[in-house]
Structure 1
Amino acid sequence: MAHIGLINLLLIIVNIAVSYKGLKDRTFFNKYSFEVDNILVYKDYKRLISSGFLHVNWMHLLFNMFSLYAFSGLELRMGHASYLVLYVASLVGGNLLSLLIHRNHGDYSAVGASGAVCGIVFASIAVFPGMKLGFFGLPFAIPAWAYGVGYVLYSIYGVRSKKDNIGHEAHLGGALIGMLVVLCMVPEVVVTNLPTILAILLPGIFFVYIIVTRPHALLIENKYFQEHVGDYDLDDRYNLERSGQKQDLDALLEKIHKRGMKSLTKKERAMLMKYSEEV
C-alpha cells in the first residue's frame, strides 16, 4: 500500500467534506460551483478554486480521490508545501482553460477535482520517468510517457471535436500546468526525462496557442454537439437546469430573500420566469 502524504490526506478529507455538503445543500453547491457568468461578470473568482472540491455524486468523488491517493508518492518526493502549490495551480489552470474556451457560454457550469488530479498525474510522469500505469480490468501496464502523450492528444481531439460531453479542457489545462509547475520546482527532471516532457508539453502548448490566437478554430458543429449542447458530464460538468426543479426554485427564493432580486444572474431570472409560468 502506498504511503500517503499529509497534504494528500488533508486534500482527500476536504474534498469529501465539501462534496458531502454540496450534495446535501443545493444552495451551497450553486454558490461555489464553476459558472462562467458568475466568474466573468460578477467577479466571483473564488469559484475557480471552490468548484474543484465539489463533485456531482459519490462515484465521481471516489474516482478522483482514488486517483489522487494512487499518486501519493509525489508528495514524498516534492515536500508538503510544494505539493500543495502544485495541486492548487493545476486546479486553477484547468479552470482557467475552461474559462477561456467557454467565455462566451455564460451558463457553462462545472465541478470536480479532475483538473488538479490531472496535474498531479502529469507531474508524476515528469518526475518518475520509469513509472508505468495500470488500469482496471487490464492485465498489463503501459509506460507513463505513452499514457501522457496519448492523453494529451485525446484531450485536444475532444476539445476540438465536441463529439462527447467530457470536460477535456479542464483535464488538459490541469495536466499542462501540473507539468510546468513541477519543472520549476524539480528542474533536474528536465535532464532525466526531457523527451517525455517535450512530447507531452509541445502539442498541448501549441493547441493552447491556437485557441488564443485563432479562437474561431473551436467553432465547429456536429450532430452530437447540437443534440447535447448544454449537457454537463459526470466528471466536470453539472447543468443546474437538469435536476430538481423544486430544489432550484427553493434555492432561487432563498437567494432573493437573503440578497434581493438584483442578486439573480440572467440565467437565474430566466429560470424563475420559466418556473413561475409552469405553476
Structure 2
Amino acid sequence: MELSITLIIVIATAVTSIAGFNNQKVINDLIFYPPAVTNRRQWYRFFSSGVIHADWLHLIFNMVALYSFGQLVENGYRYTDGIDYGFLQIFGVQRGKLFYLLMYVSALFVSLLPTYLKHRNDYHYRSLGASGAVSAVVFAALLLEPRSGVSMFFLPIAIPGYIFGPLYLIVSHMLARRAADNINHSAHIWGALYGVVFVLSLSALYSDYDIPRSFVEKVQMHLSKFF
C-alpha cells in the first residue's frame, strides 16, 4: 500500500512535534525566529517551524485539518455527481504528487514571509506550527470542491466551503488587527490566499481543467437546491 504525500507529511510532523514537547532544544533549533534569519541567515526556519507545534491540541487540530482536506486536494474523492477532483486527476499522478508537495512546502515559506518582514528584528517574536501551509491546503480544497462542508468546534453545523472561505478570511483579518492572542493569523490569511493562487496558476499552465468555471458551476449546482 502506497502512502499518500498527505499522510507522510502528517506522520513526519507528528513525530517531530511530539519530540519537541519534551525537548526544548528541538523547539529552539526549529522554531521560526526572525532575527536568526536576519542575522544568521537561517532560512530553514521558514520550513522547520512547520513541523513543530505548541501542544497536543495545536498539533491535532492542524493534522486533522491537513489529513481531511489534503486527501481531497491530493487524491480527490467521488462526489455525488461521480467525478473525481484532485491534483492526481488534474495534473496526472506523478506531476500531481510533485505539485501537491511543492504547494505545501512553498506555502510554509510564503505564509511566513509577511511575518518575517514585520518582525525581522524583533527579538521577542517566535512562531511555530503548520497553520499557514494547512490553510493553503484547505483553501485549495475549497477551490476544487466548494460544496464540501466545513465544520469547526464553534460551529454547530457544517457550512459550504464557498461560504466558509470568505468568512474565515474576514474573521482572521479582524483577529490579526486586534492581535489579542498568540496566534499568527497573518500566516493563516497568506497561506490561504497562496493556496488559491498556486492551484489557479498551475492549472492554467499544466492542465486543460477549467477550475474557475468548475467552481462557479458547482456553487450554482449547490445553490439550485435551495432556490
Q: Which runs of 4+ in 1 moved over 6 A?
A: none
Distance 2:114 2:148 in 1: 28
Alignment CA distance shift 1:37-1:142 (3 Å): same
Say whether the 8 Å CA contact 1:37–1:107 is kept in structure 2. no
For the 8 Å contact 2:146–2:215, the answer to whether it is kept is: yes
The answer on 1:189 being equivalent to 2:206 is no
Q: How far has the Cα of 1:40 moved from its partner?
A: 1.3
Percent identity of equivalent pairs: 34
Question: Which residue of the partner structure matches residue 115 of structure 1?
Answer: 132
Q: Is 1:168–2:195 an aligned residue pair? A: no
Deviates more, 1:66-75 or 1:102-111: 102-111
Alpha-carbon separation, structure 2, partners of 1:176 and 1:12: 22
Matches within 5 A, 1:8-23: 8-23=6-21
List per-residue Cα deviations over 1:34-54 (Å, max 9, x = no partner): 001001121100000000000
CA change 1:181–1:99 in 2 (3 A) is: same
Q: Kindly name which structure, 1 or 2, has the bigger radius of gyration based on alpha carbons.
A: 1
Q: CA deviation at 1:18?
A: 1.1
The 8 Å contact of residues 34 and 126 in structure 2, kept in 1 or not, is answered as: yes
| TM-score normalised by length of structure 1 | 0.64
TM-score normalised over the length of structure 2: 0.78
Does residue 43 of structure 2 align to residue 45 of structure 1?
yes
1:57 to 55, 62, 77: 55
- 2:38·2:121 contact (CA, 8 Å) conserved in 1? no
Which residue of structure 2 aligns with residue 247 of structure 1? none
- Give the RMSD, CA atoms, in angstroms: 2.1
Letter in 1 for 2:113: L
Q: Deviations over 1:232-271 (max 9, x none)?
A: xxxxxxxxxxxxxxxxxxxxxxxxxxxxxxxxxxxxxxxx
Instruction: Answer yes or no: is the 8 Å Cα contact 1:95–1:115 preserved in 2.
Output: yes
Per-residue CA distance 1:47-69 (angstroms, 9 max, x = gap):
00000000111221111111111
Does the residue aligned with 1:109 lie in a helix, a strand or coil? coil
Tell me by how many angstroms 1:73 deviates: 1.4
Change (3 A) 1:61 1:104: same
Alignment of 1:1-279 (within 5 A): 6-71=4-69, 72-76=71-75, 77-78=86-87, 79-136=96-153, 138-187=155-204, 188-193=210-215
Partners of 1:23 and 1:70 in 2: CA distance: 24
Structure 1 117/19 Cα, relative in aligned 2: closer, same or farther at 3 Å?
A: same
Which consecutive residues of structure 2, in runs of 5 or more, have no partner in the other structure? 76-85, 88-95, 205-209, 219-227
Q: Is the 8 A contact 2:37 2:120 kept in 1?
A: no
For 2:146, give the aligned amino acid: P
Cα pair distance change 1:132/1:109, threshold 3 Å: same
5+ residue gaps, structure 1: 197-279
Q: Distance in 1 between matches of 2:111 and 2:155?
A: 28
Q: 2 CA distance for matches of 1:64 and 1:156?
A: 19
